[in-house]
Each structure stands twice: as structure tokens, then as C-alpha cells.
Amino acid sequence: MEWPVAVLAVWSVTSALSLCSPNYYVLDDGAGLGRVFDGVGGLSGGGATSRLLVNYEEPYRGQILDYLFKPNFGASLHILKVEIGGDAQTTDGTEPSHMHYENDENYFRGYEWWLMKEAKKRNPNITLIGLPWAFPGWVGHGKNWPYDFPDITAAYVVNWILGAKQYHDLDIQYVGIWNERNYDSKYIKVLRSMLDRVGLSDVGIIAADGDWSIANSMIIDQLLYDSVEVIGAHYPGTTTVPDALKTQKALWSSEDYSTFNDEVGGGCWARILNQNYINGLMTATISWNLVASYYDKLPFGRDGLMTAEEPWSGNYVVESPIWITAHTTQFTQPGWTYLQTVGHLAQGGSYVSLTDGKGNLTVVIETMTHNHSVCVRPPLPKFNVTSQNATFQLKGSFVSIKELHVWRSQFNFKTKKPVFFEKQTPLTVMNGSFTLNLAEDEVYTLTTITTGQKGSYPDPPPSACFPKVYKDDFNVRNPPFSEAPDFADQTGVFEYYNNLTDPGPHTFTLRQVLTERPITWATDADQTISVIGDYEWENLTVTCDVFMESVRTGGVFIAARVDKGGQSIRSTNGIFFWVFADGTYKVTNDLAGQAVLAEGQSGTRAYGWHTLSLTVTGPLASGMLNGYPLWKNAVVLNPKNGWAAIGTHSFELAQFDNFAIVAQ
């Protein structure tokens, strides 16, 4: 028989559990406190993980944002970390830079500005962080490395922070250091000096935003030590290293989770939110990613706190990590302090306790079993969790607490009927003590805070495939975002282009704007490409007007059945119909242009509009140029399905207009 919580609390007073029992836990602030809590957050970027979110229509877009950021509603996130777009592939796509070129500044490209403002509307106290995952090529003067000219790189980052304030009234509190595999001590010092010089001394540096290795350098280099406010690690596996602890700096898991957002993903998130502090004294944990709002077949599909990948239907899914987040975020705030009395439960699981220093107490308990809390990385050592009774004794300033509010999540893996973030009957505390019957795979919050709420909206529209008939003429005079709806740039940057000096039919187009390979750690392609549509498409016709701006070397393509994206974009296959400014065409089975299916003369030239049409049916593909057949019946055995796409032969200026798809 499972006793109600309140009955167990009374029973605990005369329980046979002695004060020496391993199932007895003290919550006490009398001997001092632990570290200051800095919050729980989500990460938009690294890269292009919020790409489809901006294309949702209201009210659904606002509802998604409420589940993420609205206090006392859903995840109620304390931190939003965004990518400082660098024009490069950085996992699932490309985000545009505020400085494509050295003499270019534009602080309205991309959607991260919009996202930060929407988060701020809902939670004015949210902590904002920027991190460059990549840089435009000019920053490295031709090298795939951004630190040979630290003054240039620092100015590039500082300009972004200043632009956030000047153009969007956004105060960036922290900036991270690229990249997770390397750091440059000289650059960090230059960045700190430049921030201070322009009045941004309140902006903290998170370094190396990768692993803990910078800690050793900080111990022996006082100027580096003074430059860094937070040591940030990615996927630390809940542990830190002695050198990091020696620094006495704040320690953050500045990128974590990265796990498919089913119930096991929710279990991963529940475990690390507690144990990052218990095992590693990390006072903030930030999820990659914030919301899975990118095409599902890109790398790490559905690795967000919730899923919003169908703007064409309006469908979204509030996944388990949203409610697991709420167990902590709705009942704590940055500035609260961990008690020293935190730790592991005797039969597995863990508990943390935090206070605001004003008499409030929040305790979060998780009993996630090994197989139900595996994260994508790092490997999880074996451990056991079994059902248990746990008695908690309140001491110090908490001894007078008479009642605690209770919120519970039960994953119920056996019945496959989970219940998340359910409010329970308040728990009566007798003589400062209470006992809980803890089953496997549960999360509890016990708190003096009364404002918790499980927010809800009416069900969104049902899931639906990408429309089989799709058109876009890009005729938007003042577009709300620099990218056209539903296009997902994988290499290169495709932006709305309004050539208002040309009154012709192609005044408004989509333009690929990069002329130089950016600096990135990911595998970029030599060709630029933006994908769109349904990955399951097999038979379809893609049509688009194209305009080359490179006289001798220009080339553009339209494509179907594109089978890879993200970090794998260099090796993608499909059916690619290319035309070139030298008057030739080519049909290839790969983006690299090596597997040639057909080729010949086309008569195409730069600075003239041409209409390309590609039809793929079964194993055969045909192409038309300006309404006339150019080639037909090219045999294509693989791939069998994939996205539609547009792109260019190299990093070069080119324009696209009147894009259309008809799929069967």
C-alpha cells in the first residue's frame, strides 16, 4: 500500500527510522551556505536551432515562447544563451553575422535579436548570453582561425554587444569564448580590456566555454584569472576538476543535455539539473538546445526542451523537459543559495536544497534510474536506484516551517502513462520532520513558494506534412526577418534582397551574400546551399528564377532529394541541376559536383535571369531552362528522398526568385 504524503509526514514523527539511518537527511543553513545559484537556461544557436520558430503564426508562436520563458507557467527559464551569428554551419545550419564584411554592420539580421526581446518581455530579469560559434572569413584574414588578430576579433564581438543595446535595448550580461575545443589566453585578455574600455565592465566573460582546461592557466596567470568571471564547460557529466574548484570562480555547465526529448531525455535533464551541483558545484546548467525548431532530419533532431518544427501546420509539442525544468525554475531564482546539505539518496537519486535567505526553502528530489536518464554524452557509469523512504529534518532557520507545497512528476515507464508537474496536497511538517515514499523515476519539488503553476493552452493544430504545393516570390518590402520562411541555410547566407533601384519583376529576391568562406569548426561545404520542404519527398518538381553575379566563375543550382544537412552537408547527395556563367550546365548526384549525370551547353550568362525547372520521378530526372527541355531521363538510383534546395557553385553573390515546389 502507498501511503499519502501527508499521512507519511505524521507517521514520520514516530517512525522507526532513527537519526542514524542512511535514509535520514538534514536540511540546515546553520553551518553556512553553499554556492549562489545562477539559474537554468536554454541555448538558441550552435547552430540555427530556432530557425523554424519565427515562421509560426500567432497565437502559436507566442504560446511556445510562454512555455519557454513566462514565469510560473512552463519552463520559466532564467537564462537565454544565443549564437552570435558567424555566417557558418555550426551544427544544424547557418546564422547570419552582424558584419558579413569588415566595413559592414547590420544589427537586424537573423532572429536572435527578436528571440531575446521576446524572452525579455516575458521575464525582464532573464540573463542574456552571447557566444560566437563561428566568424566571417575576414576576421581571420584568410585563415580558419579567429585569434591571430585578437583586436579585430574582440572588436567584432564587442560591436555585437553594443549593437544589442543601441538597436534593441538589450543588455548582454555574459559573452562566451569560441570555441569548445581551443581557447586563446591573449584574446581573452584583449576582450576583457576592450569591454572595460567601452563601458562594458559589467559584461562577464565565460571561458573557455568548452572544458575545464582553462582553470590551470588561470591559476598561474593572474591577468587571465581577473579576465574570466565564469568557467564554463560543455557536457561535463556532472563532474568538475580540482583546478576549477581551486579558482573559486563560478562553475557552469554552459552547454549540456543535447538529448532526444522523449521521457528518457526528460530523465537525463532531471538528473543533471540536480547532480551538476551535487557532484560538480556547477551553479548554472544551460540546455542545448532551447527548442527543437529545425528540420527533424538534421543532426540531433528533437534535442530541444520542447518541439516546434512545423510552422506550416502550427503544431508544437510541450515535451517532458519543460516540466522537469519547472521543478527547479518556478521555485528558485538566480541569487538564491544552495544549502551545504545537498547530496545523494541512500538507494539512489539525489536532492538539492536552496534558499532565498529570507526564510523560503525549495527542495528538488530526483530518483531517475540509469537506463531512464541517459544523456547523449558523456557515457553514463552504471548505478542503481530503488524505491525508498527518505526522512528529512529541517534545522536552522527552517525549523519553524509547518507546511511545504508539493509538485510531483512520475515518468511511469512501465505503464507508459507519465504524469508531469502535478500539484499534490501540501505536506504538513511535524517537529521539523517529514518522510517521503520515493518510487523509481520520480521528481519532487517541496517548497514554501506558493506561485507555481502548470500553464496550459488549448491543443495546437494537428501535425501535418510540409505542403506539397509551395511558392514564394520574396516580394516583401520590409521583411520582419532577413531569412525567407522555411529555408534552412546550411552553407552560405540567403537573405531578402530589395533592389529598389530596379523597378522590374525581380526587385525583391533572395540573395546569397557571402563571398568568402567563414571560420568554423564544423564541416562546411565548398558550395552554398539552403534546404526546404519535406525530407520524405521522392517525386517532385522544383522551379526557380536564378541570377548569377560572377561573370566568369558564377554558378547556381536547384536540387531535389537532398539527403543530408548540418555538419554532414559537405557529403550530401541528391539531384543537383547546375547552370554556369560560362554557358554550360551540369547535373550531378552530389553537392560536391563530382558524380556527373549529364552535362553540356546551356547558353547561360551572368547578369541575366534564367528559369530552371527540375523534375524527378522515380529513377529518372529531367531539367528545363527558360521553359524548354535542356536534358531529360538522367538515371538517379539514390537517394530515394530528401529536401528541395537552392545554392551556388562557390561563395559568390547570386539571386533567386519565384521559387516553387510541386510534390506528388
**Which one from 83, 112, 118, 255 is the annotated catalytic residue?**
255
**Which one from 118, 180, 263, 652 is the annotated catalytic residue?**
180
Widest Cα–Cα separation across the chain: 93
Provide mean pLDDT across the span 100-129: 98
Tell me which amino acid residue 190 is: V
- Of 574, 661, 570, 565, give the one whose Cα is nearest residue 621: 574
Tell me which amino acid residue 593 is: G
Q: How confident is the model at residue 21 (pLDDT cuts 50, 70, 90)?
A: low
* pLDDT at residue 18 is higher than 80: no
How does pLDDT run across 64-75, given as a tens digit for each residue? Answer: 999 999 999 999
Q: What is the pLDDT of residue 504?
A: 85
* pLDDT at residue 20 is higher than 80: no
* pLDDT at residue 12 is higher than 60: no
Q: What is the pLDDT of residue 180?
A: 56
How does pLDDT run across 274-307, given as a tens digit for each residue? Answer: 999 999 999 999 999 999 999 999 999 999 999 9
Q: Is 365 exposed, middle or buried (0-12, 13-18, 19+ CB in 10 A)?
A: buried
Q: What is the pLDDT of residue 11?
A: 31
Q: Which fold has domain 469-663?
A: Jelly Rolls (2.60.120)
Q: What is the pLDDT of residue 15?
A: 34
Give the SS3 label for residue 195. Answer: helix
Q: What is the pLDDT of residue 182?
A: 67
Q: Where are the beta strands (DSSP E) in 485-603?
A: 488-491, 494-498, 508-512, 519-520, 528-532, 540-548, 555-562, 573-580, 584-590, 596-601
Compute the mean pLDDT over every residue in the chain, rounded to the nearest whole number.
95
pTM: 0.96
Q: Could you tell me whether strands 609-617 and 555-562 are parallel, antiparallel, or unpaired per DSSP bridges?
A: unpaired
- Of 558, 539, 528, 549, give the one whose Cα is nearest residue 659: 558
Report the C-alpha gap between 557 and 477 in whole angstroms: 26
- Of 303, 297, 256, 301, give the one whose Cα is nearest residue 279: 256
Question: Is residue 180 flagged as an active site residue?
Answer: yes
Residue 434: strand pairing partners:
392
How does pLDDT run across 338-392, given as a tens digit for each residue? Answer: 999 999 999 999 999 999 999 999 999 999 999 999 999 999 999 999 999 999 9
Q: What HEC string does 586-618 produce?
A: EEEEECCCCCEEEEEECCCCCCCEEEEEEEEEC
Give the SS3 label for residue 383. Answer: coil
So what CATH class is 38-310?
A: alpha beta
Q: What is the pLDDT of residue 6?
A: 34
Query: How far is C-alpha 28 from the chain's CA centre?
Result: 37
Question: Is residue 366 flagged as an active site residue?
Answer: no
Domains of the chain, by residue range, sit at 38-310, 469-663
Enclosing H/E stretch for 410: strand 403-410
How does pLDDT run across 451-504, given as a tens digit for each residue? Answer: 999 999 999 999 999 999 999 999 999 999 999 999 999 999 999 999 887 778
* Inter-residue contact 362 to 350 (CB < 8 Å): no
Q: What is the pLDDT of residue 181?
A: 56
How does pLDDT run across 399-448, given as a tens digit for each residue? Answer: 999 999 999 999 999 999 999 999 999 999 999 999 999 999 999 999 99
Q: How confident is the model at residue 3 (pLDDT cuts 50, 70, 90)?
A: very low
- Of 253, 318, 267, 257, give the one whose Cα is nearest residue 443: 267
Enclosing H/E stretch for 629: strand 628-635
Provide mean pLDDT across the span 12-18: 35
Enclosing H/E stretch for 277: helix 263-280
142 φ/ψ sector (left φ>0, alpha ψ -120 to 50, else beta): left
Provide mean pLDDT across the span 13-31: 68
* pLDDT at residue 105 is higher than 50: yes
Report the C-alpha gap between 393 and 398 in whole angstroms: 9
Q: What is the pLDDT of residue 382?
A: 97
Q: How confident is the model at residue 22 (pLDDT cuts 50, 70, 90)?
A: confident
Report the C-alpha gap between 9 and 393 in whole angstroms: 11
φ/ψ (deg, to 5) at 566: 65, -140
Q: How confident is the model at residue 14 (pLDDT cuts 50, 70, 90)?
A: very low
Give the SS3 label for residue 580. Answer: strand
Report the C-alpha gap between 231 and 465 in whole angstroms: 43
Q: What angle do CA 333, 339, 344 make, to 5 degrees?
A: 110
Looking up cell 530515394 gives: 640
φ/ψ (deg, to 5) at 321: -60, -25
Q: Where are the beta strands (DSSP E) in 424-487?
A: 427-428, 433-438, 442-447, 469-472
Q: What is the pLDDT of residue 501?
A: 75
Quick one: angle between helices 112-122 and 150-168, nearest 10?
A: 50
Report the C-alpha gap between 52 and 54 in whole angstroms: 6
Q: Could you tell me whether strands 609-617 and 519-520 are parallel, antiparallel, or unpaired per DSSP bridges?
A: unpaired
* pLDDT at residue 234 is higher than 50: yes
Report the C-alpha gap between 133 and 110 in whole angstroms: 15
Helix residue ranges per DSSP H, 281-414: 320-329
How does pLDDT run across 637-656, given as a tens digit for each residue? Answer: 999 999 999 999 999 999 99
How does pLDDT run across 605-625, given as a tens digit for each residue? Answer: 999 999 999 999 999 999 999
* Inter-residue contact 87 to 516 (CB < 8 Å): no
Q: What is the pLDDT of residue 484?
A: 98
Report the C-alpha gap between 575 and 615 in whole angstroms: 10
Q: What is the pLDDT of residue 500?
A: 80
* Inter-residue contact 158 to 191 (CB < 8 Å): yes
How does pLDDT run across 135-175, given as a tens digit for each residue? Answer: 999 999 989 999 999 999 999 999 999 999 999 999 999 99
Q: What is the pLDDT of residue 31?
A: 86
Report the C-alpha gap between 239 and 233 in whole angstroms: 10
